[in-house]
Amino acid sequence: MTNEQLQIRVEQISHDFFKKPFIHKAYFNNRLRTTGGRYVLKTHNIEFNPKHYEMYGLDELDGIIKHELCHYHLHIGGRGYKHADADFKNLLRTVGGSRYCRSVKPEPVRTPARYMMLCQNCGMKYMRKRRMDTSKYVCGRCKGPLKLYKMEEANGTQG
């Protein structure tokens, strides 16, 4: 979807659901990371995260458009446009906009633990990515001495 198509879609949703015109600009902003869209108070423009459309499709984008248009029309009309305001919550419920958008962050790749510290008294295991000097630390449960194993050694000794 291009910015021109997005502009037409926002104007159409504004007309159909809010019965008011959208006379400012709507466009995609690739720099948005943690949000689906943003209503800019100073310019009255609305920015959208293109990743939401790419990952979840048109229905998700329509929900975000309705959400941002609630901010837009309430702010222009001098009513409560913030998330906590009753005017905003009521209008959002009326038009069927999304309260929250889904995450577009990829799941972080966790590096597996390479070391294991084992308490010599109680057997408590501490998994670590980095090697540690066990002479400086004791078990958090029983204060017993710790012994360091590489994961290959730890798997071999337990199995």
Catalytic residues: 68
Residue from 53, 6, 62 nearest 32 by CA:
53
Residue 46 tokens read as 């609305």
**CA 88, 90, 91 angle in degrees (round to 5)?**
65
